[in-house]
Amino acid sequence: EKGGFDSFMDKEIHDQPQAVADTLLGRTDAAGALVLDDLRIDESILRAVNKIIVVACGTAAYSGHVAKYAIEHWCRIPVEVELAHEFRYRDPIVDERTLVVAVTQSGETMDTLMAVRHAREQGAKVISIVNTHGSTIPRESDAVLYTHAGPEIAVASTKAFLAQITAAYVLGLYLAQLRGNKFPDEIVTLLDELRAMPRKIQTVIERGEYVRATARSMEKSDKVLFLGRHVGFPVALEGALKLKELAYIHAEGFAAGELKHGPIALIDEGQPVFVVVPSPRGRDSLHSKIISNIQEIRARGARTLVIAEDGDDEVRKYADEIFWIPQAPTLLQPLLAVVPLQIFAMALASAKGLDVDQPRNLAKSVTVE
Ligand code: F6R
């Protein structure tokens, strides 16, 4: 059932192009407009939404973090992302014009379920993004957008994460279409870019051997840092979480801009630091900002492990190791950039002789608060 792979996790990493493709399947009409049949919320209610709050835990919350960047950019609706267990207990400001988006692979996470109940009691509408059919959270939501990643067996989430990000993009584009923030042809273009992602994810997976070899050489690491900006920030957080839970190594992710506000003190000779580099073709000065961050940490002895886009010649000069990913629009890059980090954590854990499918102390579905 592992399909010839050493672990379910390895299989599920390889399932990712399909998971993303399946999550995109059947979402458009003949004219190329998005239709979300599963959403039973009245369009007038969705047009009136003035705030979105994404509630989730762990990896699912990082997908919400990516969703925030995309939905705010496309729809101009303020989006907050909150850990479900924090949301529930802080008397959040929620009303009839708030849309709560609950993201969960299992559909059974108790913290997320309690947040959903609380939001609905306050009059908010809840859309859940869920992978497991027949689970509790979609039953208690106003609407559900299923991710079609298939069953995820390994405790550490991989393909569900990519499918969650994909579903969040679909929801964002749908809201942009509904609310008139984007022209129909812009939606078609963005969807085409999204449909090109599975092929590119496949390419990243095919390049995995270099990541694995690097991971094997780092078996003795006791601390690894991850940096990113913009949508690369949640990718850094996810890379760190994967390494903690699988390889039991102390790992931390930071927004690269935070470095000088404290974390740079952690850098000493030989400290491995992963850096997620945004597209040099992207807007603003994101790319040059991260190049400066790489220079800062390198000057203090860091060993830089860089995830960068094909054709990014500048970054070469500053990287000790580079894991190349295909070119993609900035907002969609997380679907590619996280894959080497998943492979790295899995390979390092395997090199340490650990069970990557069943990390210690963890359960696949956390049904207690
Ligand atoms: C990490 C991981 C967990 C889950 C979290 C939420 O690899 O799997 O952090 O993402 O427990 O679980 P779901 O998505 O089932 O609500």
pLDDT score of 368: 82
Pick the residue whose CA is nearest to atom 3 on ligand 1: 58
> CA-to-CA distance for 175 and 72, rounded, in angstroms?
11
Give the residue-averaged pLDDT of 25-50: 89
> CA-to-CA distance for 367 and 2, rounded, in angstroms?
26
With a 6 Å cutoff on the Cβ, whether 156 touches ligand 1 is: yes
> CA-to-CA distance for 28 and 75, rounded, in angstroms?
19
Question: In the chain, what percentage of residues exceed pLDDT 70?
Answer: 100
Give the residue-averaged pLDDT of 344-349: 98
For residue 355, name the pLDDT band (cuts at 50, 70, 90).
very high
Q: What is the pLDDT of residues 106-148, one digit of tens each?
A: 999 999 999 999 999 999 999 999 999 999 999 999 999 999 9
Which atom of ligand 1 lies at the shortest distance from residue 137's CA? 16
With a 6 Å cutoff on the Cβ, whether 366 touches ligand 1 is: yes
| Probe residue for ligand 1, chosen from 13, 157, 235 as the CB with the greatest number of ligand atoms within 8 Å | 157
With a 6 Å cutoff on the Cβ, whether 334 touches ligand 1 is: no
pLDDT score of 39: 81
Output the CA 313–ligand 1 centroid distance in Å.
Answer: 36
Pick the residue whose CA is nearest to atom 7 on ligand 1: 156
Angle at 126 between CA 125 and CA 132, to 5 degrees: 160
pLDDT score of 62: 98
ipTM value, please give it: 0.97
> CA-to-CA distance for 92 and 70, rounded, in angstroms?
23
For residue 36, name the pLDDT band (cuts at 50, 70, 90).
confident
Q: Which amino acid is at 199?
A: R
With a 6 Å cutoff on the Cβ, whether 276 touches ligand 1 is: no
Give the residue-averaged pLDDT of 171-176: 96
pLDDT score of 88: 87
Output the CA 66–ligand 1 centroid distance in Å.
Answer: 16
pLDDT at 38 over 80: no
Among the listed residues 97, 78, 74, the one whose alpha carbon sits nearest the alpha carbon of residue 180: 74
With a 6 Å cutoff on the Cβ, whether 157 touches ligand 1 is: yes
For residue 32, name the pLDDT band (cuts at 50, 70, 90).
confident
What is the number of H-type helices and E-type strands within the chain? 15, 10
pLDDT at 155 over 90: yes
List all residues 6 or more positions away from 325 whose beta carbon is below 8 Å from its beta carbon. 200, 203, 204, 307, 308, 309, 310, 333, 336, 337, 339, 340
For residue 37, name the pLDDT band (cuts at 50, 70, 90).
confident
Q: Is the pTM of this model over 0.95?
A: yes
Give me the residue label for tokens 């949301």: 87
With a 6 Å cutoff on the Cβ, whether 131 touches ligand 1 is: no
User: Given the DSSP bridges, would you call strands 321-325 and 303-309 parallel, antiparallel or unpaired?
Assistant: parallel
pLDDT score of 267: 95
DSSP annotation of 34 reads B
State the average pLDDT for the chain: 95
Give me the residue label for tokens 């997976």: 205
Give the residue-averaged pLDDT of 331-350: 98
Give the residue-averaged pLDDT of 239-260: 96
What distances in angstroms separate CA 315 from CA 161, 268, 277, 280, 294, one per listed residue? 27, 21, 8, 9, 9
Q: What is the pLDDT of residues 62-116, one digit of tens each?
A: 999 999 999 999 999 999 999 999 998 888 999 999 999 999 999 999 999 999 9
Output the CA 112–ligand 1 centroid distance in Å.
Answer: 10
Q: Does residue 364 carry a catalytic annotation?
A: yes
pLDDT at 283 over 80: no
